[in-house]
Amino acid sequence: MDKGAEVTRVLGPGDTEEAAALLRAGRLVAFPTETVYGLGGDGASDKAVAAIFAAKGRPSFNPLILHVADEEAAARLALLPEGALRLAAKFWPGPLTLVAPARAGAPISLLARAGLETVALRVPAHPVAQALLRAFGGPVAAPSANPSGRISPTTAGHVLAGLSGRIAAVIDGGACPVGLESAVVGFDDAGAARLLRPGGLPAEEIEAALGAPLLPAGEGISAPGQLLSHYAPRAPLRLAAASAAPGEALLGFGGAAGAALDLSPAGDLREAAANLFAMLHALDARGGAIAVSPIPERGLGRAINDRLRRAAAPRERSPA
Ligand code: TXA
Ligand code: MG
């Protein structure tokens, strides 16, 4: 990933209107939350979310947290089960992320959700994050603002050390008071709460508010972005296909002949990443098998291939 492709501006805590305008233009802005600095992009835009993955150099598309200003905004995006409402009332705004089924038609990038039916929502307490979210008005997708595999940033200086030249701006709001990512809690079909990721809100406090013990993450969802956190189409998926066999629809790349849909006719991996989940969903909805053109194993192509391999894996998936 080349550095210095753009000049990263350092904004002050009062510049949230300007930062919101950058987000509206599809640009990336790092901002402070009480946990860690987030690498924010328009959570409704597959393109902006693809740019987040590209800036981080993430090898796979883990689902991202969508940040909103208050519980009402969260409830417009997801169907919060009773336990989630209880935790939201007690701990939002704060270092807690809740995973719940997305509402039909909610303006959330499928790429940010990694194609899942559920969405992770967080209402941060940091005043700069609050001001930015209110100025922007929509959900902001934000993983921690560090290159993949590096530790999470808790100052604007950390953000610049890792991402300078790859993002439009960072809002310097000083050091993050919590310094540890939010606790992530999901709910099973029976409404029982599961701790998907321990974090900046102690599990004991969450359990006290629920009046029940938190279940462990459970099969398949213990590790962030693993297994159950992955979208798999119902249709069989064949990778690195030169062309479609009878009965298959071809998901092309780079202008493949005979493609039903093309991830990027121009062969642009960022565009392909932005289109990936939406196009898989569209082809899956038609029924029948799907063949996918070869995707180059470089840059975002590695993440696309990682995601496609998981989607193509047998449905009885073993831990990986
Ligand atoms: O404190 C934080 O949470 C920071 C700040 C910026 O808000 N954000 C952060 O995001 O740590 P990230 O992308 O590094 O972590 C997101 C976590 C991952 O563990 C991911 O697997 C989980 O949330 N997650 C997101 N959507 C999910 C979903 N639909 N189901 C299960 N887990 C999900
Ligand atoms: Mg992280």
CATH fold, domain 237-312, is Rossmann fold (3.40.50)
pLDDT at 12: 98
Q: Which atom of ligand 1 is nearest to the CA of 184?
A: 23
Instruction: At 296, list the tokens.
Output: 């180059």
Q: Which ligand ends up closest to the CA of 39?
A: 1
Residue closest by Cα to atom 21 of ligand 1: 224
Whole-number Å distance, alpha carbon 284 to ligand 2 midpoint, is 31
Q: Which of 109, 115, 60, 112 is nearest to 226 (CA)?
A: 60
How do residues 277-311 score in pLDDT, each as one tens digit? Answer: 778 878 988 889 999 999 998 877 877 887 788 78
264 C-alpha vs ligand 1 centroid, how far in Å?
28
Query: How do the domains of the chain map onto residue ranges?
Result: 9-216, 237-312
SS (H, E, C) 86-120: HHHHHHCCCCEEEEEEECCCCCCCCCCCCCCCEEE
Considering every ligand atom, which ligand is closest to the CA of 126?
1
The percent of residues above 70 in pLDDT, for the chain, comes to 92
- Nearest 5°: CA angle at 224, between 167 and 85? 95
Residue 274: pLDDT over 60: yes
Q: Band of the pLDDT at 4, cuts 50, 70, 90?
A: low
Asked whether the whole model's pTM tops 0.75, one would answer yes
pLDDT for 227 beyond 60: no
- CATH superfamily, domain 9-216, is DHBP synthase (3.90.870.10)
200 vs 149, residue with greater confidence? 200
| Predicted pLDDT of residue 80 | 97
Q: What is the mean pLDDT of residues 92-116?
A: 95
Query: Could you please report the per-residue DSSP string of the chain?
Result: --TTSSPPEEE-TT-HHHHHHHHHTT--EEEE-SSSEEEEEETT-HHHHHHHHHHHT-SS----EEE-SSHHHHHHHB---HHHHHHHHHH-SSSEEEEEEBPTT-S--TTTTTT-SEEEEE----HHHHHHHHHH-S-EE--BSS-TTSPPP-SHHHHHHHHTTTSSEEE-----SS-SPPEEEEE-TT--EEEEE--SS-HHHHHHHHTSPPBP--TT-SSTT-GGGS---SS-EE-S-SSPPTTEEEEESSS-TT-SEES-TT--HHHHHHHHHHHHHHHHHT-SEEEE----SSTHHHHHHHHHHHHHS-SSPPP-
Residue with more model confidence, 133 or 308: 133
Q: Which residues line ligand 1 (CB under 6 A)?
A: 33, 35-36, 38, 62-65, 97, 99, 113, 116, 118-120, 122, 142-144, 181-182, 184, 186, 196-197, 224-225, 229
Give residue 231's pLDDT.
58
User: Order of strands, edge to edge, in the sheet holding 261-262?
Assistant: 237-238, 289-292, 248-252, 261-262
Between residues 295 and 276, which one has the greater pLDDT?
Answer: 295
Q: How many CB atoms lie within 10 A of CB 3?
A: 9
Name the pLDDT band for 140 (thresholds 50, 70, 90).
very high
Q: Residue 268: pLDDT above 90? A: yes
Cα–Cα distance between 213 and 283 in angstroms, integer? 41
Query: How far apart are the CA of 38 and the centre of ligand 2, in A?
Result: 9
Structure tokens at 44: 């409704």
Instruction: Name the residue with higher pLDDT: 204 or 303.
Output: 204
Greater confidence, 114 or 179? 114
| CA-closest candidate to residue 144, choices 122, 165, 119, 127 | 122
* pLDDT score of 259 more than 60: yes
Least confident piece of the model among 165-169, 196-200, 206-210, 314-318: 314-318
User: Has residue 1 got a pLDDT over 50?
Assistant: no
The residue nearest atom 20 of ligand 1, judged by CA position, is 224
Does residue 93 have a cis bond before it (omega within 30 degrees)?
yes
Q: What's residue 224's pLDDT?
A: 44
Ligand 1: nearest atom to the Cα of 67: 7
Model confidence at 315, in pLDDT bands (50, 70, 90)?
Answer: low
Structure tokens at 105: 């038609």
